[in-house]
Structure 1
């Protein structure tokens, strides 16, 4: 996928712990009665997101008199540039935070505890997706629990849905999937085989059933099959179970046995994201951040639940980005007000939602949004079902860094190429991942003890 939601939190911790921090408020006298107030806001995003935030911030400045200096980067550059700002003692007043870096930023004194300010603001947190709010709570031991202190508010929640090319299925005479009942894995593979054809008669396949990326799509298969990455308290890596191996093998078989995905050479010419955009792929993931682009495609698409692999039901992940405040901001009250405005103000949310870059953070607004007549995609409700009912946190979202999780993908290619079984690979990887998770948990304990 084009949007990277995980960065190595342990690396951030190593950088963050080294420096005494100052914020980069440009507030003149730091917020006394003389001079104009100005705070900085650093975030990542494309042109649509930048334009939406600039519009929302203009309204904030009009209402409060506080100017906001915007620093925007591409998604792939954000983590590096934020770390550079930390290293240079130039931390923005307000900035995006990844779930996987929250603990390191808290222990390093980078993030401000905004619990009291948010409680005093009168905001109805019950009208914001609980997953979004709780993602930025930390009690010193566990992240993501409803009792932890609040170190940010959600910029968004990102329900990772499953999409299909409606035009392609209709042209093939295939009945459209039910929007409420997930396909079984066997049904999904069968339809994908029907869609994988040579459309121009030149002897080469140029349309495929699907084209999934293992790093962003395996989660659904594993969870649906009853497997998981860790045990409940995130101390034991559990990727070497039969359920996990079966899910990974099914994923690899889509290419090597079922042959419903572009080959490695096909993907090298044009990756699966580009092929989906060109109308050459039947089933593909869809996040809210994709909608502004997908709504302009030359084919109709819609959302359905992810296919089920085992008895675990449909499953997928629910991501989030947060917005936090520098612990050393010279204008902390104004910075917190900007965070609460961007995350919870109805007008600000409407600006962001109208840009088709996220679903509303406000639950009542989201329900109205999903029911809009003529909406694209038509089944917006699927996004809400994920946010409300069955979306799960990414495996490394609430651990102290993601290195243990990233290890799984490092040498997985032989499995995807059909040269190694999933079970053999996972048996090799589990001890490596366990060692890294043990290190992560030990670092988290040391950081908590040093607070």
Structure 2
């Protein structure tokens, strides 16, 4: 979303992305304390029952669902769970403080990008044995979620389990159905994506002055570059880094073309609110008011978006050079602290919140995530009533078209963050994508080299 202040917007998005990827201070300072000797906030209750602390972040709907699930866990296991809940923007800071102060919660959210550092520095436990002993059918849990928290000492995605998936987050593409119908434009095909030319043409049709006052008050798109450029780049055959994650590739022609196309949608087509227009109201707020035609939608948005005054649904992202749609899929994990006084019980809580049937049902019905259980997701979730109607698009991203964000499995994400710091002149049409990518590639490469060197030193 746009704030009207480019520098502030860049900083906000890096903070949000750092939370998703774990690329902030936590990953870099995880080794500050010998966590095996850390004191714990939990322990036992006054009546002698074991007590766990569980730290997570979430909105009201998620909190309500978790309250029900945790109460059931307490009753079934004769224990107490002390909940520490924060807003998303506060979570990383508070977890960092807990780690630095040797007060690591027994169970807590673990970002994908922190797995390598947290496991290497013994902040989180290997819970492979406990997961296997639990009897949970991992074949019925999305493989992407399970593998996101595996680490074999060198590579994330294989080896021991250092967490269970809290969720899988397919980043989908939404459209305002009511706006399409009012404009007399045929609805998008829920299965066949627009070509980029088709998408740009429709976005321009939707961009209009609806009240005749001489100023635009409706736009085709409101896409934020830090969360949507990935779909353009990947569909065009480009990427931020090579497969080995050793060479930054943002200066390649496929990447440059995708970035320039993204910028042209605002500067040439005028289909996205300008910075000046966003100073009045940012694009997220305009989407919520029904003034934006296309906007991204994640499962975590559903509880909020179902309250909107217009109909909306999901479609695949438009395609570029490869002819294949693409987007990213994220995840949060639930990890167990190395320092917990109750390792078996803590691991049991992590497995329960990740895979218990009723707990998962409470969470998807709250409109905050896709079920982790494959059979539940492909049956009762996929066929449930209510928006989005095309829930199959969420599942298609998980199974087919989604991929991890570029820094999800590197030691730190500073190299990736560097790309966004100076991006604004490209979005304003003051610098070409080719010039910018040529300038930023060496700075990104230097930081990627440093991240890889640090990973090697910690093996």
Give TM class, smaller chain.
Answer: over 0.9
Q: Which residue of 2 aligns with 1:121?
A: 134
Q: 1:395-426 deviations in whole A, cap 9, x for unaligned?
A: 00111111000000000100000000001100
Q: Which residue of 2 aligns with 1:329?
A: 340
Q: Which residue of 1 aligns with 2:326?
A: 315
Q: CA deviation at 1:354?
A: 1.1
Q: Helix, strand or coil for the counterpart of 1:17?
A: helix
* C-alpha distance in 1 between matches for 2:385 and 2:95: 40
Q: Which residue of 1 aligns with 2:195?
A: 184
State how many pairs are aligned: 443
* C-alpha distance in 1 between matches for 2:271 and 2:28: 43
Q: Helix, strand or coil for the counterpart of 1:302?
A: strand
Q: Helix, strand or coil for the counterpart of 1:198?
A: coil
Q: Which residue of 1 aligns with 2:301?
A: 290
Q: 1:317-358 deviations in whole A, cap 9, x for unaligned?
A: 000000000001000100000000000010110111110000
Q: Helix, strand or coil for the counterpart of 1:440?
A: helix
Q: Which residue of 2 aligns with 1:6?
A: 20
**Shift in alpha-carbon separation, 1:429–1:164, aligned structure 2, 3 A:** same
Q: CA deviation at 1:375?
A: 3.0
**Shift in alpha-carbon separation, 1:268–1:240, aligned structure 2, 3 A:** same
Q: Which residue of 1 aligns with 2:252?
A: 241
Counterpart selection for 1:216 from 208, 227, 250: 227
Q: How does 1:36-47 map to 2 (within 5 A)?
A: 36-47=49-60
2:429 matched to 1:413?
Answer: no
Q: CA deviation at 1:255?
A: 0.7
Q: CA deviation at 1:389?
A: 1.0
Q: 1:119-154 deviations in whole A, cap 9, x for unaligned?
A: 111111111110000000011111123xx1100010
**Shift in alpha-carbon separation, 1:312–1:152, aligned structure 2, 3 A:** farther
* C-alpha distance in 1 between matches for 2:106 and 2:440: 40
2:364 matched to 1:360?
Answer: no
* C-alpha distance in 2 between matches for 1:119 and 1:91: 25
2:398 matched to 1:387?
Answer: yes
Q: Which residue of 2 aligns with 1:27?
A: 43
Q: Which residue of 1 aligns with 2:243?
A: 232
* C-alpha distance in 1 between matches for 2:150 and 2:406: 17
Q: Which residue of 1 aligns with 2:30?
A: 16
Q: 1:66-122 deviations in whole A, cap 9, x for unaligned?
A: 110000011011001000000110000000011111111111110100011111111
Counterpart selection for 1:84 from 83, 97, 101: 97
Structure 2 segments unaligned to the other structure (5+ residues): 2-12
**Shift in alpha-carbon separation, 1:261–1:10, aligned structure 2, 3 A:** closer
Q: What is the alpha-carbon root mean square deviation over aligned residues?
A: 1.5
Q: Helix, strand or coil for the counterpart of 2:110?
A: strand
2:287 matched to 1:271?
Answer: no
Contact 2:165 2:331 in 1 (8 A): yes
Q: CA deviation at 1:11?
A: 2.8
Q: Which residue of 1 aligns with 2:9?
A: none
Q: CA deviation at 1:23?
A: 4.8
Q: 1:131-181 deviations in whole A, cap 9, x for unaligned?
A: 000000011111123xx1100010000000000000000000000000000
Q: Helix, strand or coil for the counterpart of 1:170?
A: helix
Q: Which residue of 1 aligns with 2:415?
A: 404
Q: Helix, strand or coil for the counterpart of 1:204?
A: coil
Q: Which residue of 2 aligns with 1:71?
A: 84
Q: Helix, strand or coil for the counterpart of 2:458?
A: helix
Q: Which residue of 1 aligns with 2:186?
A: 175
Q: How does 1:330-349 map to 2 (within 5 A)?
A: 330-349=341-360
Contact 2:21 2:407 in 1 (8 A): no
Q: After TM superposition, which residue ranges in structure 1, 4 or more long, deviate above 3 angstroms?
A: 1-10
Contact 1:223 1:312 in 2 (8 A): no
Counterpart selection for 2:143 from 126, 130, 137: 130
* C-alpha distance in 1 between matches for 2:395 and 2:236: 23
* C-alpha distance in 1 between matches for 2:456 and 2:323: 33
* C-alpha distance in 2 between matches for 1:378 and 1:8: 32
Counterpart selection for 2:108 from 90, 95, 101: 95
Q: Which residue of 1 aligns with 2:71?
A: 58
Contact 1:159 1:287 in 2 (8 A): yes
* C-alpha distance in 2 between matches for 1:10 and 1:278: 33
* C-alpha distance in 2 between matches for 1:87 and 1:173: 58
Contact 1:226 1:312 in 2 (8 A): no
